[in-house]
Structure 1
Amino acid sequence: MGSFSQIVVVGASLAGLRAAQTLREEGYTGELSLVGAEPHLPYNRPPLSKSVLTGDDDVALPGADDVDVHWRGGRRAVRLDTGGRTVALDDGTSLSYDGLVIATGVRPRRLPEEQMTLRGVHVLRTIDDATTLRRALATDPGRVVIIGGGFIGGEVASTVRHLGHQVTVVDAGAVPMDDTIGERAGRWLAVHHGKNGVELISGVRVVEVTGKDGRVSGVRLSDGRTVPADLVVAGMGVVPNTDWLNGSGVHVDDGVVTSAELFADGVSDVVAAGDVARWPHGLFGGELVRVEHWANANEQGAVAARNLLRGPGQAEPFDAVPALGTRVHGTRIQWAGLPRLADESSIVTGTPEDDKFSVAFTRDGVLVGAVAVNFPKEMIRLRKAIAAREQLAVTI
């Protein structure tokens, strides 16, 4: 720790804040800069698709307003020079470092610009996105089309339907969230959306968002249909914010590729954490994974900071079981591990018909993932089993 006097954290969401807080908690007393692309202090993102849309602006993260840092809000990193150990910002300034935390997160996939500029077309990633969407919903748009039935799309559909609007979700998959919660739970979720008044159109792609007089009017699908729309929310997934690392020598491949201890490949003074980090996970045979979960960012930011201070020789691998939960139309859905890695799956408790069940996912007989609907105690059990690499006989 004595070798560090200037540490820069690039990215001021949850992972970046946790890294900065942990550096101070571990006794680092040198210069500490926190660079955030948004002008706001670090805040909590999960409420953006839920309570913020209904009028609750409480997104505070504990300690965000009193962490001892040189705050660089409203500034983006545009270039990294690992040889000269500098981070260039978009205002022309440059920050020197002897330790760097990359926590730049992700950004939403966007429609072509001419479609994004239509009035009534929205994305949802920031607090400003959420308040803009809330104002649009307050004008009673009538027909809301959500592109993408994933995590964010499902939460927005649930919230907007609760507000009384007509909602259609268009999803390219056969069932919503099948890459996250698997086909069985995805089938249940499709039915659950329907029971709560959401029209789900599955297995088709959006070809174009159409407009009239500069305002959105519909969504044209790959099967030739056009769905009328007064408001569109594009929830088509995200991409890691790594453009600023081009030419830096940091290995980038669907995120910042790191060691198990979160050090950027071959660089002992740079670590990565949160949605942007892609690391070999010890519980899953060293499979490179990138996890877009709140809990992962929270835990990983702290571990990355501690490992940076300790150095590669004394660092600990990050092998926490990924886990997240959501509520869709009032129903609790949780998942843990990486169900997408499985070659077999089975319902192990409960039934989808009762809206209370759990699904186990295995690879070569070893538990790698779990999903629970309205079954938190079962999720606790299965998550512990994933951490213990238990074997479980399941059938597809």
Structure 2
Amino acid sequence: MAPHAVVIVGAGQAGVETAAALRARGFQGRVTLIGGEPPGPCHRPPLSKGYLTGDVPAADIALRPAEFFAAQDIDLLAGDRVVSIDRERHTVTLDSGLRVPYGALVLATGCRPRTLPVPGASLDGVSTLRGLADAEDLRRRLDGPPRRLVVVGAGFIGLEVAASARGLGHEVTVVEAQARALARALTPGMADRLVSEHRARGVRVLLNQEIAALHGDDEDRVHSVELNGGRRIDADLVVVGVGVLPDTALATAAELLVGDGVVVDERLRTSDPDVYAVGDCARFPSPHAGGRHIRLESVQNATDQAKCVAAALCGDGDGDGDGESAPYTAVPWFWSEQYALRLQIAGLTADHDETVTVGDRDSGRFSVFCFREGRLIGVESVNRPADHGIARRLLATGTDLSPDTVRQPGFDLKNLARRPAASTPRTSVERQTVHV
């Protein structure tokens, strides 16, 4: 039986999509969407790309137009935040003091950015990039004469900011503590290709370098970055992109099971059957990771999990009449844009033991097929959207594609897509966390 009222904590991608999916499925109860960040729900991916460069105006980054929520009878409480959950009384309490009852609760609390634990991290001109307010501040600072920007962290957010700022004519240095960029997210060859593109565009990329301190002027504005060993880099702005942490404070206080995220089952239910978790904050068992619990940071994961939870809350989501919703089995996929390179990833590639490259790496149009024990587990593609789309379908239905087949002259993924499906792929990935 569907609950009489659903409260969704978090008005980001996962939260908004959950509310929208409930109404699309015909849910008749009350839907309350609570988000602490004014002015309202926004699309995050453009914040490090088109929004910074001015190509995407502010009006275009709203997840839904303001009238959508009223038209769908969704109570949007923006600018307020949930401070506690009372599981016994089935209520949440907001910062404003308002108490909202629920029949089912969906946690879509997302993540918070890591900060640098070094002296000077609070200087003016040092920021992270997570929400609209961060992006507006950075956009304002980049709107003018060339500045000296230091990006700390060569992950997706860091490299996207670097590409955007360099495209605006600013002097950019990227500092990464690991021996290579995107060490957790990409194969070495693909990561090297992205770094080569940045360097060719004039970005300094310093690998295997850690930040010792940030130094400011007499007005407490950042003016230089000190590396371990004493080297200093002049900086007018510093953007810290060293990853995020799942926001589990509410779940922890409510004594839900937590561990690198809010732990849920295959139907995204927490240790309390009336509470679900979706999106960046949820740690769930994935068939694409051998059934192990993982946490993913992507628009796709947030959107698909929202649909899964909406199906569960509306009753029988798999159509077999047993009243039990279908488990979450969506194929993970991710994307990033840097300069003229559009990177797309299908599947989870972190645990691969063999790769095969198809296409021309130098021209920037190629795909890397990743295998584990001879089985395809993921495909990374640059400027080859057809490969990406087919790879997603093959990973969803199963494929017997082997490395030797991909190596054959004239290999064409389109031909493989026409073959009958095999069994669903399984890998031995322990954990993968990716943000795009």
SS of residue in 2 equivalent to 1:346: strand
Deviation at 1:154, TM superposition (A): 1.0
Unaligned runs of 5+ in 1: none
Report the equivalent of 2:326.
316
Partners of 1:284 and 1:368 within 8 A in 2? no
Report the equivalent of 2:135.
130
Q: What letter is aligned with 1:249?
A: E
Q: TM-score, normalised by structure 1?
A: 0.94
Higher percent of residues as strand: 1
Deviation at 1:280, TM superposition (A): 0.4
Report the equivalent of 1:242.
248
Report the equivalent of 1:362.
371
Q: Does 1:59 align with 2:61?
A: yes
Q: What letter is aligned with 2:5?
A: Q
Q: Does 1:232 align with 2:238?
A: yes
Partners of 1:208 and 1:221 within 8 A in 2? yes
Report the equivalent of 1:34.
33
Report the equivalent of 1:264.
270
Deviation at 1:25, TM superposition (A): 2.0
> Identity across aligned pairs (percent)?
39
Partners of 1:368 and 1:389 within 8 A in 2? no
Q: Does 1:374 align with 2:380?
A: no
Q: TM-score, normalised by structure 2?
A: 0.85
Partners of 2:376 and 2:402 within 8 A in 1? no
SS of residue in 1 equivalent to 2:187: helix
The aligned runs of 1:165-314 (5 Å cut-off) are: 165-213=170-218, 214-265=220-271, 267-310=272-315, 314=324
User: Residues 223, 350 of structure 1: CA spacing in aligned structure 2 closer, same or farther, 3 A cutoff?
Assistant: farther
Report the equivalent of 1:335.
345
Q: What letter is aligned with 1:317?
A: P
SS of residue in 1 equivalent to 2:355: strand
Q: In 2, distance between residues paired with 1:247 and 1:230?
A: 40
Q: In 1, distance between residues paired with 2:226 and 2:121?
A: 15
Q: Does 1:84 align with 2:93?
A: no
Q: In 2, distance between residues paired with 1:375 and 1:199?
A: 27
Q: In 1, distance between residues paired with 2:125 and 2:255?
A: 41
Partners of 1:36 and 1:76 within 8 A in 2? yes
Q: In 1, distance between residues paired with 2:37 and 2:81?
A: 8
User: Residues 255, 206 of structure 1: CA spacing in aligned structure 2 closer, same or farther, 3 A cutoff?
Assistant: same
Q: In 2, distance between residues paired with 1:314 and 1:97?
A: 21
Deviation at 1:11, TM superposition (A): 0.5
Q: What letter is aligned with 2:390?
A: R
Write the deviation string for residues 275-316 of structure 1: whole angstroms up to 9, x where unpaired: 111110023210211111112112211211221232795111
Partners of 1:141 and 1:230 within 8 A in 2? no
Unaligned runs of 5+ in 2: 318-322, 405-436
Q: In 2, distance between residues paired with 1:16 and 1:351?
A: 40
Deviation at 1:83, TM superposition (A): 2.3
Partners of 1:15 and 1:302 within 8 A in 2? no
Q: 1:350 aligns with which of 354, 359, 379?
A: 359
SS of residue in 2 equivalent to 1:66: helix
